[in-house]
Amino acid sequence: MNPAPPQQAAGFDPVRLIQAYQAGIWRYLRALGCEASLAEDLTQDTFVAVIQRPFNDVSPAATSAYLRKTALNMLISHERRAGRMRPVEDIEQLDRTWTRWAGDDEGETALHHLRDCLDRLTDRARMALEMRFRGEASRMEIAAALEITEHGAKNLMQRAKQQLRECVEGKLTSSDED
């Protein structure tokens, strides 16, 4: 006998739910430090769990918050099963920051702002980040390419990321006030 399809709550559309929120949940898990493959698995688990318990989709903000909470719980359970001691600076702070960055479009605006902010970096800083994230170069390779010490490469990238964060935050705050 075929299992019955999931009980539908008023307005509950699993396909639409996944399409609308999967990117945000995946990004959220990445923001919490997950590798891409783990983020993918946990995103899948999150939606499978949520679909089995249909709910009233009150608003995008509420649904987003609910999905993020579910994803966070999935991550916590995964970490505990793996027995990994991975301290996270402040999960709630990360959660709040990402909530702000995600906004109403699962982070698309924040990423758009990030692209703009990257253009404002110095050439050396941008190059270091491109080598790190596009080329997956090690710190030593980056230092060699830029003719600086490893310590210098580390500082350069940290300052660049700090500038990017402040730039994105500023743009997000301005758009809120508009």
Q: Is 35 helix (H, G, I), strand (E, B) or coil?
A: coil
Q: Which helix (H) or strand (E) holds 58?
A: none
Among 10, 11, 12, 96, binds another protein (CB under 8 A): 96
- Mask for 30-69, x = binds another protein (CB under 8 A): xxxx-xx---x--xxxxxxxxxxx-xx-xx-xxx-xx--x
Q: How far is the CB of 70 from another protein (least distance, A)?
A: 4
Alpha-carbon gap, residue 145 to 68, rounded angstroms: 40
Residue 139 touches another protein, criterion: CB under 8 A: yes
Q: Which helix (H) or strand (E) holds 134?
A: none
- Compare residues 101 and 147 and give the one whose CB is closer to another protein: 101
Concatenated DSSP letters for 135-174?
Answer: S---HHHHHHHHTS-HHHHHHHHHHHHHHHHHHHHHHHHH
Residue 137 touches another protein, criterion: CB under 8 A: no
Question: Which of positions 62-91 make contact with another protein (CB under 8 A)?
Answer: 62-63, 65-66, 69-70, 73-77, 79-91
Residue 6 touches another protein, criterion: CB under 8 A: yes
Alpha-carbon gap, residue 47 to 45, rounded angstroms: 6
Among 121, 125, 128, 129, binds another protein (CB under 8 A): 129
Q: How far is the CB of 65 from another protein (least distance, A)?
A: 5
Give the angle subtended at the CA of 108 by the CAs of 65 and 120, to the nearest 5°. 130
Q: How far is the CB of 137 from another protein (least distance, A)?
A: 11
